[in-house]
Amino acid sequence: MGVWRKEINTVLLLMLATTIVGAITGLFLPLLFLLMLGIIMRQVVQISRFEKWISTGGRSKYPKTTGIWEEIYYHVYRIKKNEKRRKKKLGKMIDQFRQSTEALPDAAVVLGVHDEIEWANKAAREVFGLQQSDKGQRIPNLIRFPEFIRYLKSGNYKESVILPSPVENRTTLEVRIVPYGAGLRLLLAQDVTQLKKMERMRKDFVANVSHELRTPLTVLKGYLETLQDLDDGHSPLLTSSFQQMQGQTERMQHLVDDLLLLTRLETQQKKSQCVDVPALLSQICKEGDTLEHAASRIELNLEAVVHIVGDEQELRSAFTNLLGNALKYSPEDSVVKVRWYQDKESIVLAIEDQGEGIAKADIPRVTERFYRVENKRLKKVNGTGLGLAIVKHVLMRHGAHLNIASELGKGSCFTCHFPVGRICI
Ligand code: ADP
């Protein structure tokens, strides 16, 4: 403000001087005109110098001047200087970010709205074989695996996909897409070769051990049966020992059978046929009642006549496990309801019992392998802890899911939801 006042004061002083000189000489008007012309010319010269300075970026020190123009130069110079400092800081940050993402062991690729590569780090260039010149190329033209293209197009990026590396097919990659910003996506890939190798080794180990145990078990069972036949019942200790040995051998056989079934579910392709589920359920329920040696406990309601595409053997195992559990974990005189029906979204098998129920905290864990609920009463019930793991696997292979509703002391309801797309009749 002070500079402005000084500037106005100078003009006023010059006008006063012009008026006095004009009054003395009688040339007021020409003098006033000259004064105005002088003031305007001075401003034009200043504007032209300013324009010259700013057109070179305003980076050099500004020319020497006075008054309001010195102020203007100073402010613009300061803004420019701050901007330069900010740009430098931002550039440094971007460099640091680039260096850290380049050093990442996982591959990262930024994809644009049309699946084009906007940026890729060093690991991405190595595992996907990308070149610097591939920037702007559409990623489906470079990574051509059908499962990857399906995943990219699906827009559903909750899960990841497992792919071989396009450069080295012995390397296994877990690829995941993370959407962010406006239409941008970050493609991340991790080398899971070792993990997959260990998983395969675990599966092979379990499969081999289970398979190898079958023969000694059959031999043991055979000898036990012979010994039991020879037992004349004179020694109660011997009789009960035989019984216990037989019980344990049977338990072990179930364990081995369940482990082999789980391995098959993990490694083998499932068959796809049109399965008559109502007929299958009628058969399983009949067998269930026969096994129970009791008056019919099972109430079967076939509300839908639909058949579904699937593997009959696998579905039989899953349904038998669920029904077996409902019968095992509920009182002998209670009813078990089995329903096959269709609702808006799915075809449902519901198996409901009036048993002990499962505590809320145990519900998410009962489908884990070997998980059995800690309960003195339930401990007496025979089981391997693998039944529900088998159910979960079978359903997963059929695009279905298991839902467990249970209340302690009241009972449980296990529902299997199959997608309507599986209906074949
Ligand atoms: P198990 O061979 O022990 O029955 P499962 O995997 O079939 O193994 O079941 C795991 C556990 O879940 C069981 O040990 C039991 O505690 C619980 N469970 C399963 N079904 C029921 C049910 N219908 N009612 C109560 N508890 C159940």
Q: Where are the domains of the chain?
A: 2-98, 104-191, 197-267, 273-424
Whose C-alpha lies nearest to ligand 1, atom 12? 366
* Ligand 1 centroid – CA 386 distance (Å): 9
Pick the CATH number of 197-267 from 3.40.50.10490, 1.10.287.130, 3.40.50.10740, 1.25.40.10: 1.10.287.130
Identify the burial level of 46 via C-beta atoms within 10 angstroms of its C-beta, where 0-12 means exposed, 13-18 middle and 19 or more buried: middle
Superfamily of domain 273-424: Histidine kinase-like ATPase, C-terminal domain (3.30.565.10)
Identity (one letter) of the amino acid at 387? G
Q: What is the band of 98 on the pLDDT scale with cuts at 50, 70, 90?
A: confident
Q: Find the 357 Cα to ligand 1 centroid distance in Å.
A: 10
CA-nearest residue, atom 11 of ligand 1: 372
Ligand 1 centroid to Cα of residue 21, in Å, is 115
Q: Which residues line ligand 1 (CB under 6 A)?
A: 321, 325-326, 329, 353, 355-356, 358, 366, 371-373, 378, 383-389, 412
Distance from the CA of 211 to the center of ligand 1, in angstroms? 25
Count the helices and strands in the chain (H runs, E runs): 11, 12
**Could you tell me what percent of the chain has a pLDDT over 70?**
98
Strands (E), 114-183: 117-120, 161-164, 172-180
What spacing in Å lies between the alpha carbon of 373 and ligand 1's midpoint?
A: 7
| Closest-lying ligand 1 atom to the alpha carbon of residue 357 | 25
- Tokens for 96? 């640091």
385 CA → ligand 1 middle, Å = 7
pLDDT confidence band for 295 (50 / 70 / 90): low
> Which residue's alpha carbon is nearest to atom 4 within ligand 1?
383
What separation in Å is there between the alpha carbon of 311 and the centre of ligand 1?
A: 24
Q: Which of 182, 184, 177, 189 shows the shortest CA–CA distance to 116?
A: 184
359: left (phi over 0), alpha (psi -120 to 50) or beta: beta
Q: How confident is residue 292, by pLDDT bands cut at 50, 70 and 90?
A: low
Q: Which of 329, 354, 378, 394 to mutate to test the pocket of ligand 1 (most atoms within 8 A of CB)?
A: 329
Mean pLDDT over each residue of the chain, to the nearest integer:
91
Residue scoring higher pLDDT (296 or 23): 23
How far apart, in Å, are the Cα atoms of 376 and each of 152, 373, 421? 50, 9, 43
Model pTM score: 0.70
For residue 355, give the ligand 1 atom closest to its CA. Answer: 24
Residue 219 has pLDDT above 90, yes or no: yes
Kindly state the average pLDDT of the residues 300-310.
94
Ligand 1 atom with minimal separation from the 383 CA: 2
User: Which architecture, in CATH terms, is 104-191?
Assistant: 2-Layer Sandwich (3.30)
Query: Residues 353-395: pLDDT tens digits?
Result: 999 899 999 999 999 999 998 876 666 788 889 999 999 999 9
> In Å, how far from its chain's centre is CA 144?
22
Closest CA to 385 of 374, 396, 395: 374
